[in-house]
Structure 1
Amino acid sequence: MCENGTAPRILTADTMNPSIRRVEYAVRGPIVTRAVELEKELQQGVKKPFTEVIKANIGDAHAMGQKPITFLRQVTAVCLYPELLNDNKIPEDVKRKAARILQACGGHSIGSYSASQGVEVVRQDVAKYIERRDGGIPSDPENIYLSTGASDSIVTMLKLLVSGNGATRTGVLIPIPQYPLYSAAIAELDAVQVNYYLDEENCWALDIKELRRALEEARKHCDPKVLCIINPGNPTGQVQSRKCIEDVIRFAAEENLFLMADEVYQDNVYAKGCAFHSFKKVLFEMGPKYSDVVELASFHSTSKGFMGECGFRGGYMEVINMDPAVKNQLTKLVSVRLCPPVPGQAVLDVVVSPPQPGDPSYKQFAAEKQAVLGNLAEKARLTEEILNRAPGIRCNPVQGAMYSFPRIEIPDKAIKLAEAEGQAPDMFFCMKLLEETGICVVPGSGFGQREGTHHFRMTILPPADKLKALLERLKDFHQKFTREYS
């Protein structure tokens, strides 16, 4: 007992898990906390130089005004409220899809638990989707694990892969810039983050020579076992060429690395000459020398693409060439969490098994999907064009995904002021941008970047008119900021 008669706290910042203290997640970091405070101040009538806070920090399509896909929401609605099966305003293909999902659920209700790996018919539909996507290459439902978004299965796979102490600790190669889920999970699991830098001068391409440099350097102090790829890229928006994917697969085979392919933006490809190639498809087309030995986990999600259904938390992982004994452990690990949200599984089923030509809902579904992807392609073009008109800002083409990652020049005076305040220079810039314009973007330092460079990540999701106004304000602010601190 303390002198005042109270017991000391058991859990303090000093006694808590030190790995958790090392976790950082820039996408929802301090700048977003301040954005929420500014929103509340505006609601309370506090005068600001802007009338609204625009949260361009996160890829949340519906929060940015994107309308849900009708078929997807109709099926989900019927699953949630089966009385709608008797409603003659609901299309017949919607009822068939919902009835099939409900039939596979315990008690015919999506309020019941599912199998830990996910509802069996949904896993079957995911496997068929992968087969169609990859031109007939077989997919086994037993290799499919449904998950709470892609993030959950990425962390689960890292949990399986991480082991060792000291020089034997697992090293995980991640692209820089990266999506902060990876650095956060690596810190939490007390693994070693191994950075390989994407080539900004070559539209953020992946360079095998840089991969080799990172691997050889890491082997001096840890045991690199995992190579993470994000394609299309987040935050960088690049789409990898087929040749690049083949080179990565050869590299993984030669160096005995487990491949993790984050492919959640596979529907989001906009640039001419670019196409999405799944790692699994390329792996199998390279023949048994690679397809029989390279261990691969690939990930997809309902949160991105044309769907944008972030809140349902639906996703899947497919594992290839996994040791059967390890697969048993993976199944055990996911069973500890009971199951992914069943409504999210229902949404995933609609995504991987959409209406077909001739179905009552097909025409509307196809039109809505095309409208979303067409709008995103136009906004990707607009973002690059407007930002590149600004002196001191350079934006690579947004080939895919939902973000741009422009490079910005920051005057020396601002860099010194930022350092004096204990801030990264691009955090200093982004915070000033937020306070003066209401635009919330994420500093590049939260994703990683080459020493001496400064960036920010912003989503291209706002409606075109709002995005255009946002980009113009951002451009004007950068010019004002440069003058002020020169």
Structure 2
Amino acid sequence: MALKEEAVLTVDTMNSNVKEMQYAVRGPIVGLAAEVESELENGQDKPFKEVVRANIGDCHATGQHPLTFLRQVLALTVYPDLFKDPNFPEDAKLRANLVLDSCKGRSVGSYSESSGLKNVRKHIAEFIERRDGYQADMNHVFTSTGASEGIKTILHLLNCDIDGKKPGVMIPIPQYPLYSATLVEYAMPQIQYYLDEENHWSLDMAEMQRAIDEARSTCNPRAVVVINPGNPTGQVLSRQNIESIIKFAHKERLVILADEVYQHNVYDPACEFHSFKKVLTEMGPEISANVQLASFMSISKGYMGECGLRAGYFEVVNFDEKLLMQLNKCISVKLCPPVTGQAALECVVNPPREGEPSYELHEKEKAEVLDGLKAKAKLVSSTFNAIDGISCNNIQGAMYCFPQVQIPKKAIEYTQSNLYKVGVDEIKITPDEFYCFELLKKTGLCVVPGSGFKQREGTYHFRCTILPEKEKFDVVMEKFKKFHTEFLAEWQ
């Protein structure tokens, strides 16, 4: 029998940046949730019947129904023989034809251009023009495999040492873990600026100035990330706040990465979504002609919730022709985003218009989704705020809340001196992880510990989506109140 040789690739010889990466929304809490679900399936008695996954913004997985029009168009593009079926409305057939006309061989099984199907990019530019009231150039629009890939592409372009210093990127704290994970993967320093929890998680310009001033000694700040509406914090930025950020980027010579994937998700009537592109355009030529911007959109959020189709787009502003050539080269290595996803994206940027046969049903389904999210946003934040030891800003937009929880000193000390068993492993955990693990095991509610999104030292939070069906939330929130009361009593 041959001796087993040492493997060339092992955990010890792999990319150390990958080992250092963390992605909280699919972290240890998800493994524990799967373990609890398996125990339920095997008949173990628990004080709940199912795990309610409020850990990730996966809309359809939590019960949201697909939009009829979007799925009709998708079906037609995948199986064109359905064009013969009179049950498919003419406007769905029109959109499907627009997609297929851009596909080589009129098949979604063919590669598209690396930047995306021509007709889809044309309609994205028109969508941006309708939204903002200003011209958009389809040659500055790129489809991507969800917004995440577009974000990683722009960060990849920024990854250049200048004067011997690594490129730093300003990210909000709390932040969506895609940013911290990607920056670790690319070995790019994170410049963390804290959102103001006492003021609806707004951006404080003095805090941003502090962060960049402190970072300059160790890196070369090159970009600032802004998530609006906010993930995980659920805030919607005011126009004044956006103008301040743009002026700051101009003064400090930063590229703006505007993560606007929740632009349809605004629930507070006192709030309004303002795109960075629109605000930048209206700030006068000295700023509008000089600040570079990349803004991102996705079909995974909003009212669509098509996470699994993996489609999004990004638009770049003030990127010169030479840079655009390099950007096109960069994305060409990936060949193209999924063409079926681009077909779904077509339905989002070119939806049924008034007078078309699908218009009324589409508007009804869209309103049902957004009205349901608005009602759950109010329910979740008000429920958390009614519990002693929990404080939660109103959910102005997006799909999440980020409540602060007061964890007793005894529980904090316990986590500092004990390991926690998850599956066959015993791991070191933070106080907020301890709280969330215990919450899951006793109520079936799966949320993400705040430490995965980063938070001010000495504070503890968790992120909870507002996606699960209201009936499930009503039951789980009652269990949550009981759990929190008993947790405080046990650990005081």
Give the TM-score band, short-chain normalised.
over 0.9
Query: TM-score, normalization: structure 2?
Result: 0.97
Identity %: 54
Preserved contact between residue 258 and residue 296 of structure 1 (Cα < 8 Å): yes
Give the Cα separation in 1 of the matches to 2:326 and 2:39.
50
**Which segment is superposed worse, 318-327 or 178-187?**
318-327
**Shift in Å at residue 437 of structure 1?**
1.2
Query: In the alignment, which residue of structure 1 is the partner of 2:452?
Result: 446
Query: In the alignment, which residue of structure 1 is the partner of 2:439?
Result: 433
Give the Cα separation in 2 of the matches to 1:166 and 1:281.
34
For residues 303-361 of structure 1, give each alpha carbon's deviation from its aligned partner in whole angstroms, at most 9, with x where no partner exists. 00000000000100101111322221111111101000000000001000000110000
Query: In the alignment, which residue of structure 2 is the partner of 1:367?
Result: 364
Preserved contact between residue 53 and residue 468 of structure 2 (Cα < 8 Å): no
Letter in 1 for 2:298: S
> Which of 239, 259, 262 is residue 259 of structure 2 equivalent to?
262
**Which segment is superposed worse, 49-58 or 320-329?**
320-329
Query: In the alignment, which residue of structure 2 is the partner of 1:423?
Result: 429
Query: 3-state DSSP class of the match of 2:396?
Result: coil
Preserved contact between residue 229 and residue 260 of structure 2 (Cα < 8 Å): yes
**Shift in Å at residue 34 of structure 1?**
1.1
**Shift in Å at residue 165 of structure 1?**
8.1
Matches within 5 A, 1:75-154: 75-135=73-133, 137-154=134-151
Preserved contact between residue 267 and residue 397 of structure 2 (Cα < 8 Å): yes
Query: In the alignment, which residue of structure 1 is the partner of 2:70?
Result: 72
Query: 3-state DSSP class of the match of 1:319?
Result: strand
> Which of 454, 477, 482 is residue 471 of structure 1 equivalent to?
477
Give the Cα separation in 2 of the matches to 1:412 and 1:394.
18
For residues 409-455 of structure 1, give each alpha carbon's deviation from its aligned partner in whole angstroms, at most 9, with x where no partner exists. 10011101111232110000000111111111000000010000000
Preserved contact between residue 167 and residue 221 of structure 1 (Cα < 8 Å): no
Give the Cα separation in 1 of the matches to 2:471 and 2:402.
20
**Shift in Å at residue 388 of structure 1?**
0.6
Matches within 5 A, 1:83-482: 83-135=81-133, 137-164=134-161, 168-420=165-417, 421=419, 422-482=428-488
Query: 3-state DSSP class of the match of 1:168?
Result: coil
Give the Cα separation in 1 of the matches to 2:142 and 2:11.
36
Give the Cα separation in 1 of the matches to 2:475 and 2:395.
19
Give the Cα separation in 2 of the matches to 1:285 and 1:172.
25
**Shift in Å at residue 159 of structure 1?**
0.6
Give the Cα separation in 2 of the matches to 1:166 and 1:471.
54
**Which segment is superposed worse, 39-48 or 70-79?**
39-48
Preserved contact between residue 114 and residue 342 of structure 1 (Cα < 8 Å): yes
Query: 3-state DSSP class of the match of 2:434?
Result: helix
Query: In the alignment, which residue of structure 1 is the partner of 2:61?
Result: 63
Query: In the alignment, which residue of structure 1 is the partner of 2:425?
Result: none
Letter in 1 for 2:476: L
For residues 61-89 of structure 1, give each alpha carbon's deviation from its aligned partner in whole angstroms, at most 9, with x where no partner exists. 11110111111111111111111100011
Give 5+ residue unaligned stretches, structure 1.
none
For residues 113-171 of structure 1, give each alpha carbon's deviation from its aligned partner in whole angstroms, at most 9, with x where no partner exists. 10000000000000000000002x11000000100000001011101101228960011
Query: 3-state DSSP class of the match of 2:65?
Result: coil
Give the Cα separation in 2 of the matches to 1:475 and 1:181.
31
Query: In the alignment, which residue of structure 1 is the partner of 2:7?
Result: 9
Letter in 2 for 1:158: L
Give the Cα separation in 2 of the matches to 1:324 and 1:20.
33
For residues 170-213 of structure 1, give each alpha carbon's deviation from its aligned partner in whole angstroms, at most 9, with x where no partner exists. 11100000000000000000000110000000010111111000
For residues 229-277 of structure 1, give each alpha carbon's deviation from its aligned partner in whole angstroms, at most 9, with x where no partner exists. 0000000000000000000000000110010000000000000210000
Query: 3-state DSSP class of the match of 1:423?
Result: coil
Letter in 2 for 1:464: K
Query: 3-state DSSP class of the match of 1:124?
Result: helix
**Shift in Å at residue 6 of structure 1?**
2.6
Q: After the TM superposition, which segments of 4 or more aligned residues of structure 1 sit over 4 Å from their partners?
A: none
Query: In the alignment, which residue of structure 2 is the partner of 1:38?
Result: 36
| RMSD over equivalenced CA pairs, Å | 1.2
**Shift in Å at residue 475 of structure 1?**
2.0
Preserved contact between residue 166 and residue 222 of structure 1 (Cα < 8 Å): no
Query: In the alignment, which residue of structure 1 is the partner of 2:19?
Result: 21
**Shift in Å at residue 47 of structure 1?**
2.3
Letter in 1 for 2:6: P
- Note closer, same or farther for the CA distance 1:441–1:167 as it changes in structure 2 (3 Å cut): farther
Preserved contact between residue 234 and residue 401 of structure 1 (Cα < 8 Å): yes
Preserved contact between residue 20 and residue 184 of structure 2 (Cα < 8 Å): yes
**Shift in Å at residue 464 of structure 1?**
1.3
**Which segment is superposed worse, 413-422 or 354-363?**
413-422
Query: 3-state DSSP class of the match of 1:172?
Result: strand
Give the Cα separation in 1 of the matches to 2:302 and 2:402.
19
Query: TM-score, normalization: structure 1?
Result: 0.98
Letter in 1 for 2:25: V
Preserved contact between residue 386 and residue 472 of structure 1 (Cα < 8 Å): no
**Which segment is superposed worse, 224-233 or 469-478?**
469-478
Give the Cα separation in 1 of the matches to 2:486 and 2:326.
56
Letter in 2 for 1:255: E
**Which segment is superposed worse, 33-42 or 394-403?**
33-42
Query: 3-state DSSP class of the match of 2:224?
Result: strand
